C-alpha cells in the first residue's frame, strides 16, 4: 500500500507557508496577523479557497474556528483532527501556528495523492485567538469548541481600542462566503498539533522530530494597584499612596519567590501606569503575571505566595488580584505519542520525547479526545519574533510524520484512551 508520507511535497509546503506569511507581513520579515483582524480575515479566505481547490469542504462555528474536511468512508464516525492557529503576535514570525495548519493541509493532500480514503474523516483546523495578543486570555477558539468557556464568557472581552471580542467574531463570520456553521462540542476521535518547538532543545541535539509528552502548568493574573494621584513636588513621601511603588515592591518580591525552583518561568510582560505623567504620583497600576512550571504542586505553592505578596506589599494602597487563566500540567495520550514515535522511526527520522513549555490549543483538546503534538526545531529557539525561523527540511519531516500518523489514527479500530 502507498505510504502517505511518500507524497509529501516539501517545496509545496514551504511555498504555502510563505504565501500565508504575506497576510499581515511586516517589513522586517515577520507577521502581524492578530486575531479577528482584516489580515486574519484575508488569510482565512485564502485557506478556504485553498481547501476548496483540493476538494475539501470548509465549515466554521460561532467561535470562527475554521475547518476543512476530507471525508472518510464512514461519515458516522468522529473525525481525526489536525492543525493549529493562524493568528500571530504583533511582532510574530511566519511559522508559529501557521506551520501546524499548513502541515495538516500538506498531510491531507499527500493522503489524497496516494489515492487513499480513510475510514474516518480528517479535518484540518485553524483555531481562533490562540495567541491572546488582542483579546486576553487566548485559546478562545479551542476553549469554546471544547466547552471550557462559553460565548458569554468571552463576548465582552475588549481589545486596546475598546472593540468587544463578540463584535469582532461577528465581523469575521459575516465575511465568510458560503461557509456552513456547525455547533461546538462535536465528537473528535483524536487531535494532532504540529508546531515549531519554540525552544532550543531539538536544534541543539540535532533531532528533527519531538514527540511532545505534555504541557507544563500555567497561571495568569492581572493585578490592579489603586493609590492616589498627587503632586510630585509637594506631596510628602510618608503621606503618599503611590501605586507604582507598591507595584514595584510586589513584582520584586514575586520575582525573588519564583526563583525557587530555578526552572520556574515568571513573566511580568504588561505594566500600565495611570496617569503616566513624570510629575504626578501614580494613581493606578495594572500589571500582568504569567507563571509556569511542569509540577502542579510548585505552581499551586507559588500561587499562594503571589496572593500573599500582593496583600503584604500594597502598603497604603488598595490592591486586587484577578486570575484570568489556570491550566494544570498535563500528559498527552500514550497512544498518540506512540503513533508519532512509530511513524518517525519508520521514516528513519531521529526523534525524542520533549515537554512543551508553551501553551497550545492541544491543551484544550486533550480534555475531550486523545491528543498529541509533533515538534520540529526552530533556529535558536526564537519565537514570537520576526527572526523566527525553521528549516524547510525539518518542516517537511514534521509533515511526513503527520501524514502517516493521521492515516494511522483515521483507520484505527476502537477508541484511544485519554491520558490524564
What does R_g of the chain's alpha carbons equal in angstroms?
Answer: 23
Locate cell 510524520: which residue? Answer: 401
State the cell numbers at 217.
502548568
**Structure confidence at residue 414 (pLDDT):** 56
Residue 415 confidence (pLDDT): 54
How is residue 158 annotated by DSSP? B
Spatial neighbors of 212 by CB under 8 A, at least 6 apart, are 332, 337, 353, 354, 355, 356, 362, 372, 373, 374, 375
334, burial (CB in 10 Å: exposed 0-12, middle 13-18, buried 19+) = middle
Phi, psi (deg, nearest 5) at residue 234: -115, -25
- Does pLDDT of 101 surpass 80? yes
Mean per-residue pLDDT for 358-373?
Answer: 96
Average pLDDT, the chain: 96
DSSP 152: H
226-245 pLDDT, tens digit per residue, is 999 999 999 999 999 999 99
Question: What pLDDT score was predicted for residue 418?
Answer: 40
Rounded to the nearest angstrom, the gap between the alpha carbon of residue 376 and the centroid of all alpha carbons in its chain is 16
Tell me how far apart the alpha carbons of residues 87 and 98 are, in angstroms, rounded to a whole number: 8
Three-point CA angle 302, 328, 94, nearest 5°: 105
pLDDT in tens, 142-189: 999 999 999 999 999 999 999 999 999 999 999 999 999 999 999 999
Beta-strand relationship, 122-127 and 351-356:
unpaired
At 370-384, the pLDDT tens digits run: 999 999 999 999 999
Distance CA(80)–CA(406), nearest Å, equals 7
pLDDT tens-digit map of 14-45: 999 999 999 999 999 999 999 999 999 999 99
Q: Residue 420 — pLDDT band, cuts 50, 70, 90? A: very low
Amino acid at each position: 500500500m502507498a505510504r502517505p508520507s511518500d507524497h509529501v511535497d516539501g517545496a509545496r509546503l514551504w511555498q504555502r507557508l510563505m504565501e500565508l506569511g504575506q497576510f499581515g507581513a511586516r517589513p522586517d520579515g515577520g507577521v502581524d496577523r492578530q486575531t479577528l483582524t482584516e489580515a486574519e480575515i484575508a488569510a482565512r479566505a485564502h485557506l478556504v479557497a485553498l481547501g476548496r481547490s483540493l476538494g475539501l469542504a470548509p465549515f466554521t462555528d460561532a467561535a470562527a474556528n475554521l475547518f476543512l474536511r476530507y471525508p472518510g468512508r464512514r461519515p458516522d464516525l468522529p473525525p481525526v483532527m489536525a492543525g493549529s492557529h493562524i493568528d500571530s503576535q504583533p511582532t510574530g514570525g511566519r511559522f508559529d501556528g501557521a506551520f501546524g495548519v499548513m502541515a495538516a493541509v500538506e498531510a491531507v493532500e499527500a493522503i489524497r495523492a496516494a489515492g487513499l480514503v480513510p475510514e474516518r474523516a480528517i479535518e484540518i483546523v485553524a483555531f481562533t485567538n490562540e495567541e491572546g495578543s488582542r483579546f486576553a486570555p487566548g485559546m478562545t477558539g479551542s476553549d469554546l469548541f471544547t466547552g471550557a468557556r462559553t460565548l458569554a464568557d468571552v463576548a465582552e472581552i475588549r481589545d486596546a481600542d475598546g472593540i468587544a471580542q463578540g463584535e469582532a467574531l461577528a465581523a469575521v463570520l459575516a465575511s465568510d462566503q458560503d461557509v456552513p456553521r456547525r455547533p461546538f462540542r462535536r465528537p473528535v476521535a483524536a487531535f494532532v498539533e504540529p508546531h515549531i518547538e519554540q525552544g532550543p532543545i531539538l536544534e541543539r541535539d540535532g533531532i528533527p522530530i519531538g514527540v511532545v509528552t505534555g504541557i507544563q502548568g500555567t497561571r495568569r493574573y492581572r493585578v490592579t494597584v489603586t493609590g492616589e494621584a498627587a503632586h510630585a513636588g509637594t506631596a510628602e513621601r510618608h503621606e503618599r499612596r503611590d501605586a507604582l511603588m507598591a507595584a514595584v515592591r510586589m513584582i520584586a518580591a514575586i520575582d525573588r519567590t519564583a526563583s525557587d525552583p530555578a526552572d520556574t518561568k515568571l513573566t511580568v510582560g504588561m505594566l500600565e501606569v495611570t496617569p503616566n505623567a513624570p510629575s504626578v504620583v501614580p494613581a493606578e497600576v495594572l500589571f500582568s503575571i504569567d507563571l509556569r512550571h511542569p509540577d502542579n504542586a510548585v505552581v499551586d505553592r507559588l500561587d499562594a505566595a503571589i496572593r500573599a505578596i500582593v496583600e503584604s506589599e500594597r502598603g497604603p494602597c488598595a490592591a486586587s488580584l484577578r486570575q484570568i487563566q489556570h491550566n494544570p500540567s498535563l500528559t498527552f495520550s500514550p497512544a498518540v505519542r506512540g503513533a508519532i514515535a512509530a511513524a518517525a522511526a519508520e521514516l528513519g527520522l531521529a526523534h525524542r520525547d520533549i515537554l512543551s513549555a508553551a501553551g497550545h490549543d492541544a491543551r484544550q483538546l486533550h480534555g475531550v479526545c486523545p491528543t498529541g503534538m509533533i515538534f520540529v526545531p526552530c533556529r535558536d529557539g526564537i519565537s514570537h519574533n520576526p527572526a523566527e525561523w525553521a528549516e524547510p527540511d525539518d518542516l517537511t519531516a514534521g509533515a511526513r510524520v503527520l501524514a502517516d500518523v493521521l492515516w494511522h489514527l483515521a483507520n484505527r479500530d476502537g477508541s484511544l484512551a485519554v491520558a490524564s
